[in-house]
Amino acid sequence: MITHPVILLIAGVLALLALGFGLWSAARAATGVRVVGQHPGWQGLGIALVIAGLGLGLSGPRWGKPDVAQLTVQVVLDASKSMAVKDAEGRSRFDAAEAFLDHMWSSPTPGAAWGLDALTGDLVPLLPPGEDRTLLRETLLAVKPGDLGAPGSSFGRGLEQVCGEVDKGRPAVVLLLSDGEETWESDSDASRRALAALKKAKLPLYAVVFGGAAPQPVPGATGADGKEQTSAARPAFLKQLCEASGGKLLTTPEETRALMAGLMQGTVALPASRSPKPVHPESGAWLALLGFALWIVGAGKPMPAWRLALLLPFLFMASPVRAQPAAVKAWLAQRALDNNDLAKARRWAPTDDAPDHRLLAAAIALRSNQPADALQRLAPLTTQGVPRPLPAWRAPALLMAARAQKELGKMDDAKALLTRLLLESPGQMDASWDLQALTPDPTPPPPPDPKNPPPPPPMRPSMGAQKDELEGRQIRMPKSPQNPKGVKDI
């Protein structure tokens, strides 16, 4: 993949012209004047390599494994009354969907964050994306079909709301578990509305259908005419939605797990393109330097005095070079950290005062189990006052500092940092979750001492005593003044 192919094309044409002129000059060796020791063919090759190296560096080539961020799987579970129909192998559709998710979450899924929403006439958000599979299972137990949101199922409105809440900066998919029965609008209107939102957000829809095609009575649901309502699964409707958005209809938890594993590893394509990692930015420079060396070697007699000086950099290529600009060091450290090469990441960790570089150095220290070093790098970002407007590095700095304090065993300091972040950025999701994890559950009070039992509670007055007290208060209340009576009232 080439970011700027036009530049590479122009450089390729110029390189071929330079090589052609060099070979043409070498073929006319006896017809012109030439410096002693000069080799036009090698010089032409050298100039061609210089031009090709410059073009390669400026065109921005990318290849190799895609740069895959953490995958967000937004699970949308149909919680309408029709999911209570018991036509899914002897159990209700909702129980079958719950067992499907429980089986899929039975083993770890590294590289994925799972969110959970309930689909009714409206979308009911239940859990933000996270990796706590136990919390996901416990939340499922609290959901009952027909008890949440508006009645019925609206795929057009619900999927439109899902697309609005998914983070657009990260690769994500939508996993829908439903019977496919639309009750709020026609299938064509719901499909058009949902597909417009899914395509705009570049979210593929994967769905699992539960229930049979034969109409079955819905427990506890009656129509306006008093007749019992029936429900039938609509797999064709969901299949059309999935295929139009770039997804597919799934059948088993194993197929779903294999698909999610491929999406996490970047082997399965997504509508939102995930570009491959850029190649080493110095590859074009090294190619150009090699061409320059060939040009010097083939230049002939007039330049032997400074030829060695220009070739000296090649003598030091084997020794590690550390005097790099901070941006280059940060790039090398980030690349080593992405490849889990902690030794190389620590070697290239930036030491300047740029906030992003301090965050990178702290992340490397935390990955290396050096929380004290991480706190030292984060100190200028966390100990100063609250900058206004709040910069983007403030929240990650406080979160990483709280994690370092936790690893050092200083729970109170970690809570203080998270509380400060919530005061500066109310509703910060990561800070809320971390603070809840650090706050232990309140311990129950100790049992009473049998030798010294607590005094019994005071006796409550009877209903008669309360009524007498109320009548006494009414008698003691001042009477409202009465209007003077007239002649007719005597």
In the chain, % helix, strand, coil (3-state, to 5) comes to 50, 10, 40
**What pLDDT does residue 303 have?**
56
Termini Cα distance of the chain: 108
Same domain, 79 and 205: yes
Same domain, 257 and 286: no
Overall average pLDDT of the 21-37 stretch: 66
Asked whether residue 311 is domain-assigned, the answer is yes
Q: Which residue has the higher pLDDT, 257 or 369?
A: 369
Q: List pLDDT tens digits, range 125-173.
A: 777 777 777 777 777 777 777 777 667 777 777 878 877 777 766 677 8
- CA-CA distance, 466 to 66, in Å (whole number)? 77
Q: Which residue has the higher pLDDT, 141 or 222?
A: 141
Same domain, 206 and 349: no
Same domain, 41 and 108: no
- Does residue 385 register a pLDDT over 80? no
Asked whether residue 46 is domain-assigned, the answer is yes
Instruction: Specify whether the CB–CB gap between 173 and 71 falls below 8 A.
Output: yes
DSSP notation for 353-390: --HHHHHHHHHHHHHTT-HHHHHHHHHHHHSS---SSP
Same domain, 80 and 57: no
Asked whether residue 193 is domain-assigned, the answer is yes
Coil, strand or helix at 179: coil
pLDDT band at 266 (very low <50, low <70, confident <90, very high): low
Which of 400, 417, 438 is the last residue in one of the domains?
A: 438
Check residue 202 and give left, alpha or beta (phi > 0: left; psi -120 to 50: alpha).
Answer: left
- Does residue 443 register a pLDDT over 70? no
DSSP notation for 390-455: PPTTHHHHHHHHHHHHHHTT-HHHHHHHHHHHHHHSTT-HHHHHHHHHHSPPPPPPPPPPSSSPPP
Beta-strand ranges (E) seen in 33-137 are 62-66, 71-78, 112-119, 123-130
Task: Give me the percent of the chain exceeding a pLDDT of 70.
Answer: 76
Same domain, 284 and 337: no
Q: Which of 29-43, 126-140, 197-211 has the lowest mean pLDDT?
A: 29-43
Domain that holds residue 307: 5-63+280-315
Asked whether residue 447 is domain-assigned, the answer is no
Task: Give me the percent of the chain exceeding a pLDDT of 90.
Answer: 0
Overall average pLDDT of the 37-55 stretch: 77
Q: List pLDDT tens digits, range 61-98.
A: 655 544 445 677 888 888 877 777 777 777 787 888 88
**What pLDDT does residue 62 have?**
59
Coil, strand or helix at 220: strand
Asked whether residue 450 is domain-assigned, the answer is no
Asked whether residue 133 is domain-assigned, the answer is yes
The DSSP output letter for 115 is: E
Cβ atoms within 10 A of the Cβ of 257, count?
A: 16
Q: Which of 101-110, 268-277, 423-432 has the lowest mean pLDDT?
A: 268-277
Alpha carbon separation from 120 to 5, 184, 196 (Å, rounded): 49, 10, 20
Same domain, 125 and 143: yes
pLDDT band at 103 (very low <50, low <70, confident <90, very high): confident
Coil, strand or helix at 57: helix
Most confident of 275-279, 391-395, 403-407: 403-407
Same domain, 137 and 200: yes
Asked whether residue 448 is domain-assigned, the answer is no
Same domain, 88 and 57: no
Alpha carbon separation from 18 to 67, 286, 433 (Å, rounded): 36, 19, 62
Same domain, 27 and 109: no
Instruction: Specify whether the CB–CB gap between 418 and 434 falls below 8 A.
Output: yes
**What pLDDT does residue 274 have?**
46
| Amino acid occupying residue 70 | Q
Strands 249-250 and 228-231: unpaired
Q: What's the total number of domains in the chain?
A: 3
Which residues have C-beta within 8 Å of that of residue 290, sequence separation ≥ 6?
49, 53
**What pLDDT does residue 316 have?**
57
- CA-CA distance, 420 to 435, in Å (whole number)? 11
Spell out a b/e string for 230-240, using b for 16 or more CB atoms within 10 Å of the CB, else e: ebbbbbebbbb
Cβ atoms within 10 A of the Cβ of 322, count?
A: 8
Asked whether residue 466 is domain-assigned, the answer is no
Overall average pLDDT of the 96-107 stretch: 78
Q: Which residue has the higher pLDDT, 440 or 316?
A: 440
Summary mean pLDDT of the chain: 75
- CA-CA distance, 40 to 300, in Å (whole number)? 9
Same domain, 291 and 396: no
- Does residue 490 register a pLDDT over 50? no
Same domain, 89 and 169: yes
**What pLDDT does residue 128 have?**
77
Instruction: Specify whether the CB–CB gap between 208 and 250 falls below 8 A.
Output: yes
- CATH number of domain containing 154: 3.40.50.410
**What pLDDT does residue 33 have?**
52
Cβ atoms within 10 A of the Cβ of 135, count?
A: 14
